[in-house]
Copies of this chain bind each other. A is one copy, B any other.
Amino acid sequence: MPSRKPAQKDSTSLRKTTPARRSPCPVSCALDLFGDRWTLLVIRDLVFGKTRFKEFTSSPEGIPTNILSDRLERLREGGIIEQVPATEGGKRMAYALTEKGMSLRPILKMLRDWGLQWEDGTRVSLE
């Protein structure tokens, strides 16, 4: 029989089901989507023009690859990113922000400005 992927996810995968919304509060719902230590850093990288798995892992914070996989999947489910062909006609995929994802840019910008103002020793990357 031909090699096939498991229908969905088995016991070894991170996060089995989509977790329920904690409340109808818009802040709470936003945090349900990207309220953790890594997700907004991936979105930051996307805003910076990164599109490939390897590029995300090479950011200075060093996100573990299993966490990255999980967050990319979660962001895709949440409609914040989508997969597009990395090269014309190629089969490898790259990631891109959707319109919904793009709309997070002002929030990222405010976070950056806040950090620069209140946290000593922070600076924007020079890439």
Partner-B contacts on A (CB < 8 A): 21-33, 35-37, 40-41, 44, 59-62, 100, 103-104, 106-108, 110-119, 121-125
Given contacts A25-B124, A26-B113, 7 further A-B contacts (CB under 8 A): A22-B62, A23-B59, A24-B60, A24-B122, A26-B122, A36-B36, A107-B111
Contact A26 to B103, CB < 8 A, known contacts A35-B37, A37-B36: no
Contact of A100 among B26, B113, B116, B118 (CB under 8 A): B118
Which residues in B have their C-beta under 8 angstroms from that of A28? 41, 60-61, 115
A-B contacts, 14 listed (Cβ < 8 Å): A22-B62, A26-B115, A26-B116, A26-B124, A27-B40, A27-B41, A27-B108, A27-B112, A28-B115, A30-B119, A31-B41, A32-B37, A103-B117, A104-B114
